[in-house]
Amino acid sequence: MTDTDGVAAFVRRYAKTWVHAVATAGMTAFGTLTVVDTRFAVIALAAYVFPPVALYLRGDDGWETAEQGDRTDERAVGDNGGQAAGDVGTVDREVWTAAAVPTEVALHDAAVGALGAYAVGEDGIVLADTGEGWTVALPDGPGATGATLWAADAVGDAVWVAGDGGALGRTDGAAGGHVDYSAPAGDTTNIVALAAEATDDGEMVLVADGGGRVRHGVYRAGELAWNDPVTPGSGASVAGLAFSGETGYLCDTAGAVFETTDGGRRYVMVGIDDAEGTPSDVATAGVVSTDAGVSYRRDGTTWTPDRLCDGPLTGVATEGDRWLAAATDGAVFERDADGWARTVTPASSLAAVAVGNKRALAVGASGTVVERGSAVTRSQS
C-alpha cells in the first residue's frame, strides 16, 4: 500500500477481503454471548477492530499477494473446463500506454462513455478525456467536499460518480457542468458501487453501500427519485454492481452473486458455490473476478473458473465480446474466443478497468491511467 492510497483506500480494500468477513463473523458470534456475560462485548469489539489495525500498521490491506509465475509467449486456448494459471500466455496486442494526467492521487474506478473516458478517486477528483487529453472535470467531487469517490459509470453523454458520505453526482459531457445529487434520500452512507443505465424516458441509477444495501433511483428531466433500499445478501459489503438494461449482477464480500431482471428491485442469488477467493468485481456478461486470481463466467446455472494469475484480480469489465480483467501487479487479462491472455501495461498496480466500443482504460495508485485504443472525439454537428 502506498502513502497516496491513504487510510480511506486501505479501508475500502480491506472491506473486500476474507479477513473482514471473518472479523465480522467473530464480532457477531461473541456479541451473541453478551447475554451470558457482558464482558464478551469487549472480546467482540476486539475481534472486529484488531485485524484491520494490525494489517494497517504492517502496511498490508488483507489481499493475499503472490509473485506471478513464468509466462509463455504463446496464447493459450481455453476450453469449457476453465484454464489454469500456467495456461494464460502473454501476447502482443494493441499497446497499452501510460496517459499523462493532471493528478497524482489514487484512482479507484473508471468508465467509458459515448463522449470519452473518465476516472475517479481520492479527494473527490473526476478526470475526463473527450479526445483532447485528460483534464480535471471536478477537483473535489460533486458536492465540493473532497470526499473520496469509489465508483463511476457512464450512460450516454453523461457519467455518474459516487463515493464516501453518500457523494453522488452527474456530469453531462454534452451540455457541460455537473449536478450534485449527494445523500440519496437523505442517506450519507458511503457508496462503494454504482451502476447507471438509459431508459425510455431518462436514466436508472443504482447505488450500493458497505452494508450490502442497494438503492434504485429514477432520473428524469433533472430530477432524481429514490426507492427504499434492499439488501439482497447477508449485509456484507457490495464488491461489484453491473447492469445492462433491466438485467444486472451484484457480488459481495461474503462470496455471493445475485442477479436481477427488473432493474434492481428484486434479486435472486445465483452463485458461486465453493468459489476460490472473495469476489472483487462483476461485469454485465456474468463474469466475476476474485482476490485469488480466478475469474468465473456464468453459463446458465454453471460458473466456470479460469485461473488468470496467482495474485488478486481487482476489477473486470465487458463490452460485447471484449472482456478485460485487471490485476494488482499492473497486468490486464483479455478474453476472446480462444480464452484469456495476459497483456503487459506500464502500470505497477491497477485498481479497476473499463472498456467501451473504441477504447479501454485501467486506473490505479498515484494517478495511474493506462489506456488502449483511439480516443473518442466529440461528434461534430
Q: Indicate if the pLDDT at residue 8 is higher than 80.
A: no
Q: Indicate if the pLDDT at residue 333 is higher than 90.
A: yes
Task: Note the pLDDT tens digit of each residue in 231-290.
Answer: 999 999 999 999 999 999 999 999 999 999 999 999 999 999 999 999 999 999 999 999
Q: 347 or 379: which carries more pLDDT confidence?
A: 347
Give the distance from CA 87 to its chain's centroid.
26
Position 58 scores a pLDDT of: 65
Q: Which residues contact 152 (CB under 8 A, 6 or more apart)?
A: 109, 110, 111, 118, 119, 120, 126, 159, 160, 161, 162, 194
Model's pTM, two decimal places? 0.78
Q: In a 3-state reduction of DSSP, which class is residue 51?
A: helix
CA distance linking residue 153 with residue 158, whole number of Å? 9
31 within 8 A of 40, measured Cβ to Cβ: yes
Position 290 scores a pLDDT of: 98
Q: How confident is the model at residue 10 (pLDDT cuts 50, 70, 90)?
A: low
Cis preceding-peptide flag for 191 (omega within 30 of 0):
no
Q: 127 or 321: which carries more pLDDT confidence?
A: 127
> Which of these, 299, 318, 311, 297, lies nearest to 349 by C-alpha position?
311
Q: CB-based burial of residue 54 (10 Å sphere; 0-12 exposed, 13-18 middle, 19+ buried)?
A: exposed
Q: Indicate if the pLDDT at residue 378 is higher than 60.
A: no
Position 40 scores a pLDDT of: 67
CA distance linking residue 224 with residue 215, whole number of Å? 12
Position 47 scores a pLDDT of: 76
Q: Which residue has cell 490486464?
A: 332
Give the distance from CA 239 to its chain's centroid.
7
CA distance linking residue 11 with residue 158, whole number of Å? 29
Position 113 scores a pLDDT of: 94
Q: Indicate if the pLDDT at residue 225 is higher than 90.
A: yes
Q: How confident is the model at residue 51 (pLDDT cuts 50, 70, 90)?
A: confident
